[in-house]
Structure 1
Amino acid sequence: MRQWFSKWVGWVRVIAIFGLLCGLMIRIADPPPIAALRNATFDLYHQSKPRDLTPLPVAILDVDDRSIEEIGQWPWPRNRIADLVDNAAALGAVAIGFDIIFAEPDRLSPPQIAADNPDMPDDLAAQLAALQDHDQILAEAFARSRVILGQTSVRTYAGNRIEKRAMADAAHALIGPDPRPHLMTFPDIVQNLPELEASAAGRGMFSTRPDPDGIYRRVPLVMSVQGEIRLGLAAELLRIATGGEPFIVRTNDAGVEGVVLARQLIPTAQDGTVWPYLTASSQSRYVSATDLLNDRLPQDRLLGHLLLVGTSAIGLEDFRATPLGVPMAGVEIHAQVLENIMSESLLIRPNYTIAIELLTTGILCLLVVVFAPSLAARTMIASSLVLMTGYGAISYYLFHGQRILLDPSFPILATALAIILISTVNYLREERQRREIRSAFGQYVSPDLVDQLSENQSQLTLGGESRQLTLLFSDVRGFTAIAEDFREDPEALTRLMNQFLTILSNAIMEHKGTIDKFMGDAVMAFWNAPLRHDDHAHAACRAALQMIAEVEQFNHARLRAQKRKRVGQRGQASDTRKPWVKVHRLNVGIGINTGQCVVGNMGSKTRFDYTALGDPVNVASRLEGQSRYYGAAIILGYATAEEVKDHFALIELDRVRVVGKEVPETIFALLGDISLRNDARFRQATLCNSEMLAAYRAQNWDRAETLLSKLRESVDALDLALDDYLDLYARRLLELRRIPPPDNWDGVFASTQK
């Protein structure tokens, strides 16, 4: 049972399902970030395909900058507003809605002017008081036409609340539960003067509220105003224009379904709001107020139109941020809502869309949770992209073709998070497996190679590539004698060699080398593969110098430890003393060569090694063998010496024809780093050595002996370990004097030892 659970369910899926349930609960709560993402997606839809602008009998009577310039500053006397109403009605406007509040008496009315100026002459004041009040003139104009007055909400606080006035009843009927708990609520509003309200055919709210990001995406079609159910300005304008029949609010347990207005059902969100489907702002909707007052309009411009009166003048403009990404005058938003209702083009977001989005989220995430852990990464990504893209395409199609707003953002986001969760867990699991591989195989091959193979398993195939490498071979001189002294304690020999090989390995890997293999006490390594290394020859030389230095420290540490043991056992009885093993110095011989090799996986299809093949490999191995003959710890081939000669202290040793090769190789001893190379005494020694070798190859034995003696003095002064090299040439000179070389002698030494 436990194995079945681990294989087919697993803790990853359990955690993912728990996360899915939490995600669905978050969506139901609908916090601001989720709503903002959804709204931003709908905005993109809106911007990608705004509503087509089609001629409809809706116009905006605009108090624009030109009107202010010609008529005078705002607010105008109410008798001028009355002229606007009369002129519009005369031109055939069906109904007029005001996106303007007339909350205070007109201060430009003659009686009001007389009241506001007590120092005015009595006869003049009497004449003004006798004139008709402008507000009365406006009320009479309202009574002669179908006028809908706008009302708006107001922010109030304790001590500054507006006195409530009785509102004219808005005739309506309800089908279903009381909608007020779901509606947008306005507890305090600003109304027009009572005489104006009484003369108007209707009253509508033009207040709306933006989303948290400040964008006006929804407009309340029906709302709760001081506890009464009222229509918005656009809806009330349409109701009055179509006969003034009562409106009907249809509700269910989830909230408002829609409003029946002008004998058609207008679907709404559960809070009674609608989503306007906007076009870009268009001047074709606007009529300048000054043109209407000065009889400059064509006779049929307002015929049969529903007219909204608003302002767009600088200082009076009332612009709102819209989903289209550009601001728009508030009155034009109401006009577009009216157009949407008349053309049945409102965006639709039914209450059931939330259930569809939750169900889709659950299905998509469950598909990912169930199948993703067992699928290849490529298949999982491709399948997930198909699912998410398909759902996004359906969402956009519904908007484009049906004007239905189905949120693609949350289901896609939740699916992407599920994919990320599963992928993260898979990645952590694979990372753990990689660490296990590195831990297991890193003991045998280079960690760099393990890393590369774990990242790209395609390299675990037979084959190789041609690359220039620097190769290093090292061996312990006299290892046979050392092993013989440990014949009674082979474990101690194993510990010793492990410590020794660790020193060599650390130096190689510290300088980014790849350890090819261990062969008893010998090590083969190379640089510039599998990872490229621009100065691979320099790195190999630095590693070799570090190996020699640290082996020397290791030798001293072993001698000191042996002395401490002897001192500690002096007081012990002779029969309890442990037998002593001679402490041999571990002397390392190193050969380094550079050249073009084939590097890669070599072997059979079932077992292979990452190694290098080629003539430079054989030469490097032979050079390591020559270190015993010449007494130099590190010997470089000619190609390596050419690469590093400007940064290391080198001295030419000989031209050698190693075993198995016909072409001679000029070899060099690596003695130190650049500080030794720049020493004037060393430069003098290398010059003397070059002259000695030249005399030797020219068979000038006397001069060669003289220069050899001079070179010995320079070497002793620098304390360089070249005694074996100098003794070698001393013996050669004696032998060549005794038995001269043949006439075709080229000065090349033919080595007979590997």
Structure 2
Amino acid sequence: MRLRPATVQLLVAALFLAGAVAVRVGDGFAVQALRLLGFDLYQRVLPAEPLPDSPITVVDIDEESLKAVGQWPWSRTIVGDLTRKLAEAGAAAIVFDVLFSEPDQTSPEEIVKRLPPVDASRIAAALAPGPTHDEAFAATLATTPAVVSLSLSTAPSPPPALPAGFAVAGDDPKPFIPDYGGVVANVPAIDAAAQGIGALNWIPDRDQIVRRVPLVFRIGDTFVPSLAAEALRVAQGARSYLLKASNASGEEAFGRSTGLNHIRIGDFIIPTDADGAIWLRYRPSDPQRFVSAKDVLAGTAPPARLAGAIVLVGTSAAGLLDLRATPIDAAVPGVEIHAQVLEHILAGRSLTRPDWATGFELAVIVVLGLGLAALLPRLSAGPAAAVGGLAIGGLIAGGFAAFDRLGLLFDPLYPALALLLLVAGVTLDTYRRAERARAELRHAFTHYVAPAVVDEIVLHPDRLELGGEVRELTLLFCDVRSFTTLSEGMSAQELTRFINGLMTPLSEIVLEHRGTIDKYMGDGLMAFWNAPLDDADHPAHAATAAAAMLAAMEGLNARWQDEAHQAGRTMQRVAIGIGVNTGPCCVGNLGSTRRFNYSAIGDEVNVASRFEGLTKAYGVGAILGEQTAAAARLPTIEIDSVRVRGRSRPTRIFTLLPEDTPSALPAAQAEFLEAYRAGDFPAATERLDRAARLAPTGLVPYYEKMARRLARLAELSKPEDWDGTIDAATL
């Protein structure tokens, strides 16, 4: 059973959609990268608004601070002084986004360790007993709401005792939370004195862009809060975290263990992914959120920026290499991300990717894809592309709306790409089918009518009916001179090859110059311009085509002569005559209801045919009518005024001038015609001789013929009605 093309197209579309679904379910790196690119696009187009009166301040160990205080790391006495000043300013939490994992190398006992033994013993004896710089810093931390960092690593090591406790409601979330083998901790005294300890780790995507930020990690069975989470806990004076997992009270999981749902930190309940991370909606980096550390140490920092604030101490100095990439910034200080996590939570923002998002996206691909595959083949290529574009645009707009209004992350790009490929495939297949049908129609008609006419028929099939219109055309007739003599020495096959070899290049010239070939008449052809396609310069195009046809005969004759010489025979020179005329004609589908031809009829057609016949009588290659010559963009001269058969009024005729024509010839020719039409034959003879001496080789036959005519007229008395017009029938 032969399936209908529409059914085949729908089946192919279904197979394509099945493949698209399989690729998405496989979720390879390219698919993931495309999805993340879509999420980044959301952020770039619709970044978060800055939090008004944000309680988050970053104290920046910037380049100016390094110049003023000295290179990093600073002495713990200086860091302690910075901590004390922040506490005195009323900071709600002082959070260090730096590690103090090594003893302070500026502390005297550390300096002594690096001295030669003799010097070390002498200096050690002279040192007054007292706390080390680390112990002094720890003492300061113990009296302030300070949070220090630790760095999770894969090297096995036990974590320090953490100040915060954790409670779990629901299923055990440990299998879902990122697990590390150990930590890089601070000097024990510092960790023991701090009010909070949080991990400063990131889990960037493969492109090293930080999009999701974990709020909790673990080392084996021990939960470790993130630095931002610990800063929020300490600022509120909370003592513990509540991890709400699947099947906890109020959490729906239908009996399945699906990981974390929320984390409660003091008064804040924060929706998270199963692994305890949040998708962060970034705002553009704002330098106004930063206060230079040197200004805090100097006591010149704005008090309002510190009082009651969660103060994050970090660095933007390029040399300290704490720069990170976000969806909207190529490089920001790492401390900025902690600040934005806190602002995200404090602003109550929610940005999640639901568990059912992937299934929903696959359903969109299948439903929209099948709908488009069924609809688009019924439309032409243009409307089909428009409908497909609207569907894809609506899909992307819906993704942006869900992001901005609902805080939901749906992947807009993979479904859009799948539908784009489907729409392109269906549209191209529809276009291909239409073009194949047009090609079949072209092939059927191209043997009978000119290519331009075929194009019109293909674009407008309704024109395949009898009828015509009157419009101005330029007509061209071309015929071979002395064809009977030429054909006598040729066999039928040779004659056929000769005609085809002649008509092919001449026809190509007509078509190249926007002409329509009406018909072939044995050794001749008829063509016209300005139908069926409009051509504002049709007289100029026709005249240029005539000149090109005459020029082409030189190369054709040379080829034929060479072929004849190689074959051991002779070949006389072939000449053509061309008549070109412009005027109103009836053009259209002419004939019977069963068989018709796109052609032109009218008096101007007959005149053009007569002009072609007169070329032999005047010894020129082409004769143009007055209207054609006036509009031609090639040099012409008037050669006579004739009364052609079938027309009572006289017609001025012109011919094309060869390229080697002297510039004085047109004026000499005009003087000759003036005397000739005045009936002053002696003067005309004299002027004709002058013009003939200027004439190029191509016009010599014309002047010879005109000289013989003047000789005959000189023997007769001038007719009383003489006006210089000659009856073509007498030539």
In 1, Cα distance between equivalents of 2:559 and 2:119? 117
Task: Establish whether residue 42 from structure 1 lines up as the match of residue 39 from structure 2.
Answer: yes
* Contact 1:590–1:624 (CA under 8 A) maintained in structure 2: yes
Q: Tell me which of 708, 721, 726 is aligned to 1:749.
A: 726
Aligned partner of 2:701 in structure 1 is: 722
C-alpha distance after superposition, 1:573-598 (max 9, x if no partner): xxxxxxxxxx99987543123x4557
Aligned partner of 2:13 in structure 1 is: 16
> Which stretch of structure 1 is more off in the superposition, 378-387 or 334-343?
378-387
SS of the residue aligned with 2:49? coil
Show structure 2 runs of 5+ residues with no match. Answer: 247-252
Aligned partner of 1:591 in structure 2 is: 579
In 2, Cα distance between equivalents of 1:301 and 1:560? 104
Aligned partner of 1:577 in structure 2 is: none
Aligned partner of 2:214 in structure 1 is: 220
Shift of residue 635, structure 1, vs aligned partner = 2.5
In 2, Cα distance between equivalents of 1:313 and 1:491? 91
TM (norm. structure 2) is: 0.81
Shift of residue 242, structure 1, vs aligned partner = 4.5
Aligned partner of 1:513 in structure 2 is: 515
* Contact 1:597–1:612 (CA under 8 A) maintained in structure 2: no
Aligned partner of 1:390 in structure 2 is: 394
1:229-628 alignment, distance < 5 Å? 229-240=223-234, 241-248=236-243, 250=245, 256-262=259-265, 265-282=269-286, 285-290=289-294, 292-293=296-297, 302=306, 304-313=308-317, 315-316=319-320, 318-325=322-329, 327-451=331-455, 454=458, 470-475=474-479, 501-502=503-504, 504-509=506-511, 512-518=514-520, 522-527=524-529, 530=533, 532=535, 535-545=540-550, 588-593=576-581, 595=582, 597=584, 601=588, 611=599, 616-627=604-615
CA change 1:538–1:634 in 2 (3 A) is: closer
C-alpha distance after superposition, 1:654-687 (max 9, x if no partner): 31122344543232455x8425x36x9xx88x99
* Contact 1:268–1:350 (CA under 8 A) maintained in structure 2: no
Shift of residue 272, structure 1, vs aligned partner = 3.5
CA change 1:72–1:522 in 2 (3 A) is: closer
CA change 1:719–1:72 in 2 (3 A) is: closer
Task: Establish whether residue 151 from structure 1 lines up as the match of residue 150 from structure 2.
Answer: yes
- The code of the aligned residue for 2:437 comes to Q
Q: Tell me which of 640, 650, 653 is aligned to 1:654.
A: 640
Shift of residue 714, structure 1, vs aligned partner = 10
- The code of the aligned residue for 2:612 comes to E
Shift of residue 101, structure 1, vs aligned partner = 0.2
- The code of the aligned residue for 1:109 comes to S
In 1, Cα distance between equivalents of 2:67 and 2:633? 90
Shift of residue 132, structure 1, vs aligned partner = 1.1
Shift of residue 753, structure 1, vs aligned partner = 8.2
Shift of residue 342, structure 1, vs aligned partner = 3.3
Shift of residue 472, structure 1, vs aligned partner = 0.9
Aligned partner of 1:191 in structure 2 is: 185
* Contact 1:111–1:129 (CA under 8 A) maintained in structure 2: no
* Contact 1:220–1:232 (CA under 8 A) maintained in structure 2: yes
- The code of the aligned residue for 1:515 comes to I
CA change 1:589–1:232 in 2 (3 A) is: same
> Which stretch of structure 1 is more off in the superposition, 49-58 or 66-75?
66-75
TM (norm. structure 1) is: 0.78
Aligned partner of 2:249 in structure 1 is: none
CA change 1:70–1:660 in 2 (3 A) is: same
Q: Tell me which of 191, 200, 208 is aligned to 2:202.
A: 208
- The code of the aligned residue for 1:262 comes to I
In 2, Cα distance between equivalents of 1:630 and 1:232? 104
SS of the residue aligned with 2:389? helix
In 2, Cα distance between equivalents of 1:452 and 1:254? 69
Shift of residue 224, structure 1, vs aligned partner = 4.5
SS of the residue aligned with 1:130? coil
Aligned partner of 2:623 in structure 1 is: 635
* Contact 1:101–1:191 (CA under 8 A) maintained in structure 2: yes
Shift of residue 619, structure 1, vs aligned partner = 3.0
- Root-mean-square deviation (CA, aligned residues, Å) is 4.7
CA change 1:452–1:194 in 2 (3 A) is: farther
Aligned partner of 1:574 in structure 2 is: none
In 2, Cα distance between equivalents of 1:392 and 1:8? 28
In 2, Cα distance between equivalents of 1:548 and 1:121? 111
CA change 1:229–1:659 in 2 (3 A) is: farther
* Contact 1:61–1:308 (CA under 8 A) maintained in structure 2: yes
SS of the residue aligned with 1:82? helix
CA change 1:341–1:651 in 2 (3 A) is: closer
- The code of the aligned residue for 1:215 comes to I
SS of the residue aligned with 2:240? coil
CA change 1:242–1:625 in 2 (3 A) is: same
1:155-194 alignment, distance < 5 Å? 164-168=157-161, 171-172=165-166, 182-184=176-178, 186-187=180-181, 189-194=183-188
- The code of the aligned residue for 1:206 comes to L
- The code of the aligned residue for 1:102 comes to F
In 2, Cα distance between equivalents of 1:330 and 1:643? 77
CA change 1:196–1:72 in 2 (3 A) is: same
Percent of aligned pairs with the same residue? 35
Q: How many residues end up aligned between the 2 structures? A: 713
- The code of the aligned residue for 1:232 comes to S
* Contact 1:269–1:351 (CA under 8 A) maintained in structure 2: no
* Contact 2:384–2:427 (CA under 8 A) maintained in structure 1: no
In 2, Cα distance between equivalents of 1:718 and 1:300? 103
Shift of residue 749, structure 1, vs aligned partner = 0.5
Show structure 1 runs of 5+ residues with no match. Answer: 157-161, 566-582
Q: Tell me which of 653, 674, 683 is aligned to 2:659.
A: 674
Aligned partner of 2:250 in structure 1 is: none
